[in-house]
Structure 1
Amino acid sequence: MSTAPRIAIVGGGLGGLVCARTLQRLGVPVTVFEREATPDSRSQGGNLDIRADTGQVGLRAAGLLDEFLALSRPEGQEMRLMDRSATLLHHHRPEPGDTGAPEVDRGQLRALLLDSLTPGTVRWDHSVARAVPLGDGTVRLEFTRGTVEEFDLVVGADGAWSQVRAALSDAQPAYTGCTFVEARFDDVDRRYPALAERVGQGTLWAKAGCLSLMAQRNADAQIRVYVGFRGPLDWHEGIDPTDTEALRARLLGMFEGFDESLRELMRLNDGAFIVRPVFVLPVPHCWERVPGITLLGDAAHLMPPVGVGANLAMLDGAELARALADRPEVDAAVAAYEDVMVPRSAEQAAATAALLAALMPDTDSTEPGFPDFFG
């Protein structure tokens, strides 16, 4: 571009950071606004499988693929599938050198992206209240701290409950009827050797109908557990979600009939449970274009957490950056990006919705009902 546009990315998650890093590699200046006060304000969550055809494409555009592969755990692609009696139904072992979807700790990947940016790119403790199109192609960002700034392009990368999205769409995330409750085990090789052996280097997954128990090896000798089920949003009515023992009793009651070696995933965990109801945006999620604003990642296409969302966010970020670097006008670049991103995300969102329905069917069946992941 002959004159560099003023570009703001709202949200310092993986998609926004890939976009920022790729823009900088292509010589386009950018500012990232992140509501968290510091890079270490909160835990970034568990592992992600980064896929060769999506997330790794984004990391390659960001010039970080080799660094990612050095961080990643190809052995994390191991998968053990069980029924509720803990009978092993299938054991998938990745081939040596398989980098199709290696696992990586989300916090480590975010740190890699942050460290790759020009110092000062991310402005921490900047929570956006709203984005206001000004009618001349520019957009005013209003921050909760009372300040305002204007930009030629605002990229909403601010997740499921995006404040930027309201400038483009009235859509709000809706509850799917499915909930996951997260638990963790620390220092597993020393403190829980039997569990560490059962889970192996990847994931142990036991299912019966809509009830699901997944235990996943993470970095730093940690295992995270995801207890999944169907139920109303207020399924824990009468229980304070911060009351660990009361919540534990409710979960154990729901999974009565599962083998005790599986119920230990809810009985022996370290620390509190984290309740994570699953919300999604409408499919397809479309909007009339507004000059100076676009979306990427969960802000654009929130979908079930089945290994697609973070990968698409990073691909979105890289493709938007390339479009902006290749075209002289911001609006033309955004149009080229959205013409690909919106239909692709609609197709993926429909597929993940169908997968969630297969994983957690609305049925009383006690059959495992695993999708045919491995052919």
Structure 2
Amino acid sequence: MASEMAEKEIAIIGCGPGGLMCAKLLTQFGFKNVKVYEAEPSPEYRNQGGSLDLKEDSGQYAMKLAGLHEKFLALSRPEGQHLKLADRDGSVLFNYEGSSETEMYNPEIDRNDLRKILLDAVNPNLIHWNHKLMKVEQQDGKNILTFESGKELVCDLVIGADGAWSKVRKLLTPIIPEYSGLSMVDMVIKDYDSTHLTNIFSKGLLFALSKNKGILVQRNGYGIVRIYATMRVDESWQKQTPIASGIDAKKLTLEQFEGWDGSLLDFIRLADEQSMVVRGIYQMPVDIDYSLKPGVVLIGDAAHVMSPFAGEGVNMALMDAAMIAEELCKQNKVDTATQVYYENMKERARPSMERSAANLNRFFNDEAPSTALPVFKRAAGQ
């Protein structure tokens, strides 16, 4: 790496897995002026969500590159390979319990645990909390970043790891994520192993689907199970429903699934009502292209937010971070590195975005769950 590259001022916007991985690798590779700016006030500001699996050729590749793979394995679980598909009556259409040869291929880890591994790997002096980016402008070959506090800074390269509603993305395209048609009520059951539901579901993933609705259950660590009561509704529902305000959230969610099997409804009945949050699912158009500008990079959801139904979001973010860090090391110019990165990123992202959108429609339609069965079989290698 040329010495002038090592001196470039690099601002990473967003302290999620992609942004942290990028900071870890860039400093590891010898870049001297790397800073991370995060809107949230602290690492403990909110729960990071459920469990995810890291794939061998993407998420795990990045963890190995960063020297963090052993720490990842120490906190991961093999049960992500366990898959169950049922209908609204509780009848099981598909049940796969993994195999000894493959069940650690894509091990699961809680998002909080993954973030902690990455936070511990980055010098805390590089992370600036409570810095909400408002806009990015370009002048004389530099990026000018303006934060909510009024603070401004100038950098040679800005890496947008700032999620679905990225401010950095606005430099490259006016396109914003589209509502997918789905919203979900996210909730958790604590101390799950003490409940009677362990006879129905113990680990991995359970999808109970019927006519554009689903009760999705995911095993997390620390005795927690996360439930996503998911349905096709208008975009306004997620913001205007009383559930979104926490008013009779459990009662109103149960009403959405009236007539479903009682044991499936128990996943909602036993959930911690204080944990219930309404989330809309958004995605970028599969065919999106970007007008590249010097000194600007998008990674993770900022570049290619997609629904969770391909299991690729965090894997893509970690791989994006690895790829841009590697290209910045290889090339003598930032612009060359970003151009090569974008060509690679688009090629990698498109199949995942297509599969994510297709799976969403296979899971949530009038004929479900039969339309979801081929997806589950393919996931199990059948």
TM over 0.5: yes
Please give the alpha-carbon distance, in whole angstroms, between the structure 2 residues aligned to 1:92 and 1:162.
Answer: 38
State the distance in 2 between where 1:367 and 1:349 align. Answer: 22
| Distance change in 2, residues 1:165/1:366 (3 Å) | closer
Deviations 1:197-253 (A, max 9, x none): 422122222112322111111111111001111121233687422454633333323
Deviations 1:64-92 (A, max 9, x none): 11111111001232222222221222221
1-side partners of 2:207 and 2:236: how far apart?
25
Residues 328/250 of structure 1: CA separation in 2 closer, same or farther (3 Å cut): same
Q: How many residues align?
A: 371
Counterpart Cα distance in 1 of 2:343 and 2:359: 25
Query: 1:278 & 1:75 partners in 2: Cα distance?
Result: 25
Tell me the residue number matched to 2:292. 289
Instruction: Report whether the alignment pairs 1:268 with 2:273.
Output: no
Shift of 1:367: 4.7
Change in Cα spacing, 1:316 to 1:238, as seen in structure 2 (3 Å) is closer
Q: Structure 1 CA distance, aligned partners of 2:303 and 2:244?
A: 31
RMSD of aligned Cα (Å): 1.8
What is the deviation of 1:305?
1.3
C-alpha separation between the residues in 1 aligned to 2:24 and 2:240?
47
Aligned partner of 2:176 in structure 1 is 172
Q: CA deviation at 1:151?
A: 0.6
Using structure 2 for the length normalisation, give the TM-score: 0.92
Output one character per residue of 1:123-145: Cα deviation in whole Å (capped at 9) or x when no partner: 111111111111x3211111111
Distance across 2 between alignment mates of 1:204 and 1:255: 16
CA deviation after TM superposition for structure 1 residue 269, in Å? 1.1
Q: Percent identity?
A: 36
Q: Which moved more, 1:340-349 or 1:248-257?
A: 248-257
AA matched with 1:63? G
- Tell me the equivalent position of 1:358: 362
Q: 1:225-236, aligned counterparts within 5 Å?
A: 225-235=227-237
1:181 partner SS? strand
1:301-312 superposed matches below 5 A: 301-306=304-309, 307-312=311-316
CA distance in 1, matches of 2:323, 2:39: 24
TM-score (norm 1): 0.94
1:22 pairs, out of 25, 37, 45, with 25
Change (3 A) 1:366 1:249: farther
Partner Cα distance (1:201, 1:119) in 2:
35
1:350 is displaced (CA, Å) by 1.8
In the alignment, residue 33 of structure 1 is paired with which amino acid? Y
How many angstroms does 1:364 deviate by?
6.1
Aligned twin of 2:135: 130
- Counterpart in the other structure of 1:105: 110
1:60 to 48, 57, 64: 64
Please name the residue that 1:2 is paired with.
3
Superposition map of 1:114-125 within 5 A: 114-125=119-130
Structure 1 residue 174 displacement after superposition: 1.2
Deviations 1:265-294 (A, max 9, x none): 122211232111111112222111111111
More helix by share: 2
Q: Secondary structure at the match of 1:199?
A: coil
- Structure 2 equivalent of residue 214 of structure 1: 216
SS where residue 3 of structure 2 aligns?
coil
Distance change >3 Å, CA 229–CA 12, structure 1 → 2: same
Return closer, same or farther for 1:366/1:167 CA change in 2, 3 Å cut-off.
Answer: closer
Moved over 6 A (4+): none
